[in-house]
Structure 1
């Protein structure tokens, strides 16, 4: 690893001028793109960045010298000023208590600073503590920046000669920055200098095809990371690494093994044919319950599971796909699970963020795990027991004709089950009515805000499909009777279990949502737009045009009493590429020529 040591970095350029070629992602997502029915530009992997690391001398830089440890207590009760984890808090709400920027003042929001970052494919989340911003940038590069100016403090480049993949971000704990890398390492960096404390290579045997995509979760002395494994025999897993030693503590296999609990739910196929079970998203953590909550994706080997065998004691439910797992963070013990959808034949994952919300259930305040898969249908579970509580359906899906009010079992719509003779329209299409674009929740009002997509697919079980082993062919189509709007921001009233307002437009969302105590929701769009909405009404209160697509996770933070809103634009990903193709196919949309990848940071004048 190339390395430069500097005592003062004030005059350093953040990023050298270089071009990074985007390579097609050679995994299941790539096969999806090829089967989308649209004009698809593929995103996913980055060429070598050719950058070296820049190590800082913290004694010569006050911000680094004064950096305070991010303790367990701080992670559990973060200062209002900080954004310390992927969705700011362990409960994955994507909500900030800051309110300087609010419904009355947001019209005065102006660009505070703008800093180029490494070009390439990514879906990043900046983290902020003590006035320092930490960013996983494209190409396995980590940047430490002055959060008020964007000035670089240090830079870590994991391996400047490697092809890399896009990720959600990193984690903080004590004096460490924890970084999942494209070559399947977990690296602990010194937050003050950028130097390596330890570097753990995750053991994968002789298998290939694994990926680290999500940001880590820190809990009970462990850094916990999900592993994606789209076509890997035996499937994915969740791993814990000791924060002090950098050694593996435990791993939980996300696909049930033959002879183990749940092993009889795979139509008796052998372990090597059980594939998928990827863990794409960051887990939520409840310190009081001492549980971490993760979602598991479906399998692409759907052919052997298409129909039940009719053997007593054997099913085709395919555990633990499309399930929420509650694990003990220090041991990996499975405390409970809930499978939202059994035997998914459409790749409509129930994999996204698990948000822990406090709601009144039958007169009693409970911690509730709220989550939705690609169908856009939200389930609520008791965080202690995994008991099903309720669902809210935004109305995009036609997969299920009913939901059992006691168990939450989804009753399949027989008119959309894969058929070899009849073309059947399934809503939503395989990218989902929602995807990685995370929701945000204002726990005080009970409102949840989720970016959504209004597109369906015509399906035929004709052997032409390349993603699912059933051979299901798909052709992406607009929603029947569409009014020409494909993008939606949907507000859901969780307290009353009903839909609130929705904002719809032709061009689809490109970012996660961000909610604040100022009564605002921020969201980025494929046409380079970045908007602030009124949480109560859905009215647009402020908007600006960036010079690139903000396909990332927006955050807010404050330094010295001044609140900032930050988002990366111009680092794209496979899903952005698919939507660029579909928008062009359906509407003729072509975005403006983008500027360089950069951090955009806004504040009040």
Structure 2
């Protein structure tokens, strides 16, 4: 079915003329009763549906279904697969009433019959065309939400859209961002008690002040907004929480935005009507620039509890006071009831970027315990009397001297979700064991914006680089963690420095995909691998499980994307944007389907007889390529998120290159427009790409994902 639109409005004009502002609501055809909605999303739901990003309000990423277990998993086979077009496919699907829903690319939502794989409808919001400069950031959609017969998606350009789950027709759209800002949406919305809540990204690339906003799920009417960092005191503060937070900042912080974006983690406690948000890093990262090197800078890198009805502040816990390493607390948070110290505690569990695992009392926000899950160099421990980290001398790189940061700025745990199993009481975490060198030599508040090689208004302003040596190169693990004892139950190495999101099940299994193209099931008690499937493409997305036609299914999406594709050293496999298999894979006991063959042809570097070395021009082009590396990879070595420009003929042709880069010819395909680039800039960029291509012609090709 085609993307639905209002009668008489051409699809190409839909973005500008219809969906930017909230529109009138049309009642959806499917309207379950209110108790049914709550029953699907409650943490004790039976598991027939996977109706939220983490299945339920508590974001446990756990399915209680047991048809597929340690005894039957050997019979697990492919039920069907669905090929997807190029674009981000690292996204979490939903399943409700036997229908599978997912967003791929730039929030293109599809509905599929879960038992047969038959495509029911497609909704395309045409986000790249609407995004403008926001298209230069972000990775596409990580997930969607469901409520009362509607599907909700956020878009790169900042819209929150409600779609009729039965027909794929747009019901309403609301613009959640502000004109001219650097924000964008890549994370999944969450829905609770008739409200849909959404945050945004953008704290790495501009003067961004974070917030989260709640809308009425039926109409799209804005209900409340909570800012995560304070604004200009001269304008007054929105509430007492912002006034309190402002006392932890220094200098003219508001001119830099501050950061603290809610780009991923949101969890809801139905019993207390409390919304927990996980906030991001500072903008800019470096506190010396952002806040005169003073203060805790609330609510950066924090877990903040809000009243679900009003958005009013309840409490917070800050994992990194005065954040300065690109650490954040935007990783998933699970709710659980655990027996600790002889009594049952209602807790919130999180493994943020910084290498510690935290257990908080979710009623009071009090820290119960914290322990390291990986090597940590920036702090020795968490002081239980104060709840604050005991930082290592030199961790804030005094005098600009580089510091070996463990875990690196990409974190010990990224957004790929963990899973908590009520069956075992363990949390299963996709851990990264990598380091970064970090420092700010030569950077001052007066010169940081104009440092050569930085994007305009770049928030990084640090000499950050990955460390690749025998101690830290390309290591990751699947870790089973006991949150009560704060120790590992078991741990398994996984290929590369990135691994996929996790699902635990009532059948005693833990499912996870890997960048080598394998999809795996492990015994939850000891980590023994009991099943594997060769998917033929990397798997970073989180799997789900649900029932359709009376049977248990498991679904996962394949394909590379997100920050994992920045650096080829961290994914030691050849992943080509054009040929990698982006697919929906669905499994069932005794499934007999077979994957279609994919052309394994290796990418080649085209001949470039007109190339002549020019070190100066290539150097200037390398500085400009910082605009490009988010998608096309560090050092122009792409890892699947976008085409490898070294293997493209476009940089060989001056006019074609100008039409794409400056003219925006490929914006609908997701390639941003850089209208500000002059002829000399384009020439230097071409020289850099052609120089890297010339060097690559002599290099061996990495093995492909299996």
**TM-score greater than 0.5 by the shorter chain:** yes
Relative to its length, the structure with more strand (as a share) is: 1
2:588 corresponds to: 603
8 Å Cα contact 1:509-1:523 kept in structure 2: no
Distance in 2 (CA, whole Å) between partners of 1:96 and 1:539 is 19
Which aligned pairs between 1:399-414 and structure 2 lie closer than 5 A?
399-414=378-393
Whether 1:171 and 2:145 are equivalent positions in the alignment is yes
8 Å Cα contact 2:556-2:586 kept in structure 1: yes
Flag the 1:302–1:509 CA change in 2: closer, same or farther, 3 A. closer
Whether 1:429 and 2:408 are equivalent positions in the alignment is yes
TM-score, with length taken from structure 2: 0.71
Which of structures 1 and 2 has the larger relative contact order (alpha carbons within 8 angstroms, sep 6+)? 1
Distance in 2 (CA, whole Å) between partners of 1:448 and 1:303 is 32
Q: What SS does the corresponding residue of 1:473 show, helix, strand or coil?
A: coil
2:41 corresponds to: 75
Distance in 2 (CA, whole Å) between partners of 1:135 and 1:284 is 20
Distance in 2 (CA, whole Å) between partners of 1:141 and 1:490 is 33
2:167 corresponds to: 193
Distance in 2 (CA, whole Å) between partners of 1:433 and 1:151 is 38
Distance in 1 (CA, whole Å) between partners of 2:125 and 2:403 is 47
Match of 1:575 among 563, 571, 580: 563
Which aligned pairs between 1:327-406 and structure 2 lie closer than 5 A?
327-406=306-385
C-alpha displacement of 1:358: 1.0
Distance in 2 (CA, whole Å) between partners of 1:507 and 1:302 is 26
8 Å Cα contact 2:504-2:511 kept in structure 1: yes
8 Å Cα contact 1:95-1:516 kept in structure 2: yes
C-alpha displacement of 1:600: 0.7
Distance in 2 (CA, whole Å) between partners of 1:304 and 1:83 is 41
Distance in 1 (CA, whole Å) between partners of 2:64 and 2:302 is 31
C-alpha displacement of 1:308: 8.1
Flag the 1:383–1:263 CA change in 2: closer, same or farther, 3 A. same
2:53 corresponds to: 86
1:40 corresponds to: none
After the TM superposition, which of the residue ranges 491-500 and 331-340 deviates more from structure 2? 491-500
Flag the 1:401–1:200 CA change in 2: closer, same or farther, 3 A. same
After the TM superposition, which of the residue ranges 174-183 and 506-515 deviates more from structure 2? 506-515
Which aligned pairs between 1:158-237 and structure 2 lie closer than 5 A?
158-159=125-126, 162=129, 165-204=139-178, 206-230=179-203, 231-233=205-207, 235-237=209-211
Relative to its length, the structure with more helix (as a share) is: 2
C-alpha displacement of 1:553: 1.6
8 Å Cα contact 1:189-1:196 kept in structure 2: yes
Q: How many residues align?
A: 536
1:128 corresponds to: 95
After the TM superposition, which of the residue ranges 472-481 and 516-525 deviates more from structure 2? 472-481
CA displacement 1:566-587 (0-9 Å, x = unmatched): 11112x3232212534344xxx
Distance in 2 (CA, whole Å) between partners of 1:89 and 1:264 is 37
Flag the 1:520–1:508 CA change in 2: closer, same or farther, 3 A. farther
Structure 1, unaligned stretches of length 5 or more?
Answer: 6-63
CA displacement 1:171-195 (0-9 Å, x = unmatched): 1111211121222111111111111
Flag the 1:390–1:352 CA change in 2: closer, same or farther, 3 A. same
Match of 2:540 among 536, 539, 551: 551
Flag the 1:424–1:545 CA change in 2: closer, same or farther, 3 A. same
8 Å Cα contact 1:306-1:345 kept in structure 2: no
8 Å Cα contact 1:176-1:190 kept in structure 2: yes
C-alpha displacement of 1:309: 6.3
2:10 corresponds to: none
Structure 2, unaligned stretches of length 5 or more?
Answer: 6-27, 238-242, 443-450, 591-706
Distance in 1 (CA, whole Å) between partners of 2:402 and 2:286 is 18
C-alpha displacement of 1:3: 4.8
Q: Which has the larger radius of gyration?
A: 2
Match of 2:513 among 519, 524, 536: 524
8 Å Cα contact 1:373-1:434 kept in structure 2: yes
C-alpha displacement of 1:485: 6.1
2:632 corresponds to: none
Q: What SS does the corresponding residue of 2:500 show, helix, strand or coil?
A: coil
After the TM superposition, which of the residue ranges 593-602 and 188-197 deviates more from structure 2? 593-602
C-alpha displacement of 1:97: 0.2
C-alpha displacement of 1:118: 3.2
Flag the 1:272–1:445 CA change in 2: closer, same or farther, 3 A. same
CA displacement 1:5-47 (0-9 Å, x = unmatched): 9xxxxxxxxxxxxxxxxxxxxxxxxxxxxxxxxxxxxxxxxxx
TM-score, with length taken from structure 1: 0.83
State the superposition RMSD in angstroms: 2.6
Flag the 1:481–1:185 CA change in 2: closer, same or farther, 3 A. closer
Flag the 1:316–1:306 CA change in 2: closer, same or farther, 3 A. farther
C-alpha displacement of 1:304: 5.0
